[in-house]
């Protein structure tokens, strides 16, 4: 399991390097190579998760390193699904460095956790982690698309056209990814919050735990709620939607993982 | 006769300076220029990227002063410019061969912002036509411009400079793809109906654009263009409504002040729920207020911005332009040959040499046939020399006198034709010493090609 994770991390690292080489050398086929490396990494990553069940006892997904690894895997799968469209290859490639960091962190910390409290609450904990991770990974891709949008928008406004600009997806495509990720990611995050509440209720009898993770997650969820409302009801788009997706994801990362790591 | 060229272009002056000097109708300016006694002939070329005047003069320094005053006080309308953009800082001057070569480079599109673009030749032809229409151009500029057209034609057919020009339209399409995922569901608004607009519409259509509207001051012109490309035609009054439906806006129309300003774009953005607008302004003076670029969701590119983009793609063309430069140099030397042949001294010298060659050849033959004694031979020699000198005296002194005057060129040319001075097979031609005359052999004014292509509105 751990060896598979390390191999996965290595492929994600190579995919990251190929992506940067592709952006630096327009006309080369590094971009395509990055996509294949990323796909190979995702395959190994999936095999790693499948092998979890052969371990006795199977480590719980509620273990933070494993949850981070799952998030990275789902983000890579989502990014690979986007590659089918237009010039989104480079966006997928830029997911690779983050996936590498996630898997690298997970492979360092895996194996320490024991099957603990989670097993008492039936299926809710796993469902909570899967849904929340899926939501986080999609909102993460939205944030990344937001950052790229801001960089490209600045370059276009300033009439600077570096070589890398031509390899990046168009502003419209980035805005669409942002919209799509928010449209799927926010409901998944909402379901993650609900299953988390059901888990807590099953264990403690209360709907709401009084820990920092729950409080900050609730704030992050409310922020995304406002962002989704602005985007879908008030018709936000372009620069402001991109900036808020990037800022929102930074906050979410802090609320869900940062607090967990600190704790 | 000297040739002087003065002006500014996209390299020496930014758009906001060039647009202040741009001239819509050159005729009144040309009439003013040739009214004084410093300048004999003049042509004024004003395009998006340059304002240049080329003149002929017999008093170079006086003509220089006249042109500087023309740019600073007359064309510039005395408006204050920032210090580093003062006319003195942005103006360049070229004299004689340099001026000829510069003009040839301009006409051949080597000096263009987008090297190899085809419009400039039409614009140079239009400038020459305007000058000859109001009598500002005479035999020298007429010859100069037809040589320029010939040089441009050679560059176009003998190099690959114009094969795939990075036209402004292509750069615009490239940029549009950075903003939009696809052009297939996009609509364009084109303001103006000139050649640039036509080229842009063609390029956008080629990139898959779904629909277009053409707005023009004269809706009839827009209608003709619209019909050809399956677009809709409108008057300028409809601009606000058209703008809110347009994803891409391209403007190139003659207007004193911007037609599209910030409030108009703000209104359009509201109406189209903030969907982005890519605006390309290739009008000079500009048709879109530059402040529009500050609006969120609007990407405004003017001619200078597009030039910077085109620059990056032009490496290959730059290599090809080395060959074009050589062709231009060759044509410029040919013109110089013609011009120097038209000076009085070489013509008189050649006329005398021809006459002397004929006289001595005939004398040799006669002396051999008649078996003349040395004394008799010297007598006949003196006699023939006197006849030749007397015959040539009047034409040569007339040529010398007339060459000082404006119409002198016509006399010099007439002399060259009447005495067949440029014909190397004529009797006595073996005595020709001055090399310049050879290139004047094919120097009939107005011999250049003129396909009647007209300049764009740019």
Q: Which residue has the higher pLDDT, A64 or B231?
A: B231
Catalytic residue among B1, B5, B43, B48: B48
Q: Are residues A102 and A230 in the same domain?
A: no
The mean predicted confidence, pLDDT, of chain B is 83
Q: What is the CATH number of the domain that holds B136?
A: 3.30.460.30
Nearest to residue B213, comparing CAs of B258, B237, B175, B243?
B243
Decide if B180 and A237 are in contact by the 8 Å CB cutoff: no
At B211, is the secondary structure helix, strand, or coil?
strand
Q: Any CB–CB contact under 8 A between B79 and chain A?
A: no
Q: Are residues A99 and A151 in the same domain?
A: no
Q: Are residues B21 and B37 in the same domain?
A: yes
Q: Are residues B174 and B91 in the same domain?
A: no
Return the number of other C-beta atoms located less than 10 Å from residue B380's C-beta: 15
Q: Are residues B234 and B272 in the same domain?
A: yes
What is the domain extent for residue A212?
120-263
Query: What is the rounded average pLDDT of the residues B50-73?
Result: 92
Least confident of A110-114, A184-188, B207-211, B344-348: A110-114
Q: Are residues B154 and B229 in the same domain?
A: no
* Domain end point (choices A66, A93, A112): A112
Residues of B within 8 A of A165 (CB-CB) are 178
Residue B215 · residue B222 · CB < 8 Å: yes
Residues, chain A: 263
Decide if B312 and A161 are in contact by the 8 Å CB cutoff: yes
Q: Are residues A131 and A252 in the same domain?
A: yes
Looking at the predicted structure, is the pLDDT value of residue A131 above 60?
yes
For residue range A241-251, list pLDDT tens digits in order: 899 899 988 88
Query: What is the rounded average pLDDT of the residues A222-231?
Result: 88
Count up the domains in chain A and report the number. Answer: 2
Buried b (16+ CB within 10 A) or exposed e, B283-316: bbbbbbbeebbebebbbbbbbbbbbebbeeebee
Looking at the predicted structure, is the pLDDT value of residue B164 above 70?
no
Q: Which residue has the higher pLDDT, B7 or A165?
A: B7
For residue range B354-385, list pLDDT tens digits in order: 999 999 999 988 888 888 888 888 899 999 99
Q: What is the pLDDT of residue B350?
A: 86
Q: Any CB–CB contact under 8 A between B145 and chain A?
A: no
B48 is annotated as an active-site residue: yes
At B3, is the secondary structure helix, strand, or coil?
strand
Mutate one of B14, B269, B276 to test the A interface: name it (highest A CB count within 10 A).
Answer: B276
Q: Any CB–CB contact under 8 A between B247 and chain A?
A: no
Structure tokens given for B398: 């007339």
Task: Examine residue B134 and state whether it is found in any structural domain, yes or no.
Answer: yes
Q: What is the pLDDT of residue B456?
A: 36
For residue range A62-104, list pLDDT tens digits in order: 777 888 888 899 999 999 988 876 568 888 888 999 999 888 8
Looking at the predicted structure, is the pLDDT value of residue A126 above 60?
yes
Structure tokens given for A207: 């709907």
Q: What is the pLDDT of residue B448?
A: 37
Residues of B within 8 A of A156 (CB-CB) are 175, 178-179, 299
Query: What is the rounded average pLDDT of the residues B388-416?
Result: 82
Sequence-distant (6+) residues with CB within 8 A of A142 are A177, A178, A181, A182, A185, A245, A249
What is the domain extent for residue B365?
358-376+398-431
Instruction: Report the chain A residue with the minimal C-alpha distance to residue B301.
Output: A159
Residue B272 · residue B241 · CB < 8 Å: no
Q: Which residue has the higher pLDDT, B324 or B446?
A: B324
Count up the domains in chain B and report the number. Answer: 3
Q: Are residues B54 and B184 in the same domain?
A: no
Q: Are residues B278 and B329 in the same domain?
A: no
Sequence-distant (6+) residues with CB within 8 A of B385 are B359
Query: What is the rounded average pLDDT of the residues B425-448?
Result: 53
Looking at the predicted structure, is the pLDDT value of residue B439 above 60?
no
């Amino acid at each position: 399991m751990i060896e598979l994770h390390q191999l996965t991390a290595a492929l994600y690292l190579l995919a990251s390097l190929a992506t940067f080489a592709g952006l630096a050398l327009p006309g080369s086929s590094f971009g395509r190579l990055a996509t294949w490396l990323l796909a190979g990494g995702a395959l190994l990553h999936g095999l790693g998760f499948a092998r979890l069940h052969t371990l006795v006892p199977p480590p719980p997904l509620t273990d933070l390193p494993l949850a981070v690894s799952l998030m990275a895997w789902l983000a890579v799968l989502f990014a690979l699904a986007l590659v089918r469209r237009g010039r989104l290859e480079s966006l997928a490639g830029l997911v690779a460095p983050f996936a590498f960091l996630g898997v690298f962190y997970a492979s360092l910390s895996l194996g320490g956790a024991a099957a603990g409290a989670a097993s008492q609450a039936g299926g809710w904990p796993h469902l909570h982690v899967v849904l929340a991770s899926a939501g986080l990974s999609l909102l993460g891709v939205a944030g990344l698309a937001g950052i790229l949008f801001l960089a490209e928008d600045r370059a276009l406004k300033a009439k600077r056209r570096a070589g890398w600009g031509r390899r990046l997806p168009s502003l419209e495509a980035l805005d669409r990814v942002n919209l799509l990720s928010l449209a799927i990611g926010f409901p998944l995050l909402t379901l993650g919050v609900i299953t988390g509440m059901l888990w807590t209720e099953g264990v403690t009898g209360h709907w709401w735990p009084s820990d920092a993770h729950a409080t900050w997650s609730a704030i992050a969820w409310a922020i995304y709620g406002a962002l989704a409302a602005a985007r879908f009801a008030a018709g936000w788009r372009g620069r402001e939607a991109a900036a808020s997706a990037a800022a929102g994801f930074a906050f979410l990362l802090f609320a869900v993982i940062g607090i967990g790591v600190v704790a | 006769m000297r040739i002087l060229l003065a002006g500014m272009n996209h390299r020496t002056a930014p758009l906001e300076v060039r647009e202040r000097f741009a001239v819509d109708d050159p005729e009144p300016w040309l009439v003013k220029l040739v009214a004084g006694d410093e300048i004999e002939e003049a042509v004024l070329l004003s395009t998006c990227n340059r304002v240049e005047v080329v003149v002929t003069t017999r008093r170079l320094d006086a003509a220089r002063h006249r042109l500087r005053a023309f740019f600073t006080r007359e064309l510039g309308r005395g408006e204050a410019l920032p210090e580093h953009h003062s006319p003195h800082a942005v103006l360049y001057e070229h004299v004689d061969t340099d001026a000829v070569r510069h003009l040839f480079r301009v006409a051949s599109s080597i000096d263009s912002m987008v090297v190899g673009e085809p419009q400039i030749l039409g614009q140079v032809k239009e400038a020459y036509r305007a000058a000859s229409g109001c009598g500002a151009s005479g035999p020298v500029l007429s010859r100069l411009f037809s040589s320029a057209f010939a040089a441009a034609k050679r560059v176009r057919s003998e190099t690959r400079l114009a094969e795939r020009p990075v036209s402004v339209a292509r750069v615009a399409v490239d940029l549009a793809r950075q903003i939009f995922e696809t052009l297939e569901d996009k609509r364009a608004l084109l303001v103006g109906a000139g050649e640039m607009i036509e080229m842009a519409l063609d390029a956008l259509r080629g990139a898959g654009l779904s629909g277009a509207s053409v707005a023009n001051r004269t809706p009839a012109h827009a209608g003709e263009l619209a019909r050809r490309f399956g677009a809709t035609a409108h008057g300028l009054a409809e601009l606000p409504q058209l703008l809110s439906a347009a994803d891409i806006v391209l403007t190139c129309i003659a207007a004193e002040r911007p037609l599209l300003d910030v409030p108009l774009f703000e209104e359009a953005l509201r109406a189209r729920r903030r969907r982005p607008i890519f605006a390309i302004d290739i009008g000079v003076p500009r048709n879109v207020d530059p402040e529009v670029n500050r609006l969120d969701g609007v990407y405004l590119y003017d001619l200078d911005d597009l030039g910077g983009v085109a620059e990056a793609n032009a490496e290959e063309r730059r290599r090809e332009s080395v060959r074009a430069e050589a062709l231009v140099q060759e044509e410029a030397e040919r013109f110089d040959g013609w011009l120097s042949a038209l000076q009085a001294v070489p013509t008189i010298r050649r006329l005398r040499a021809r006459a002397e060659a004929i006289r001595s050849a005939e004398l040799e033959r006669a002396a051999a046939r008649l078996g003349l004694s040395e004394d008799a031979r010297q007598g006949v020699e003196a006699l023939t020399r006197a006849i030749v000198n007397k015959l040539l005296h009047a034409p040569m002194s007339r040529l010398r006198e007339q060459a000082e005057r404006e119409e002198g060129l016509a006399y010099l040319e007439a002399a060259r034709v009447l005495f067949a001075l440029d014909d190397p097979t004529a009797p006595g031609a073996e005595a020709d010493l001055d090399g310049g005359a050879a290139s004047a052999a094919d120097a009939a004014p107005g011999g250049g090609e003129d396909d009647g292509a007209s300049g764009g509105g740019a």
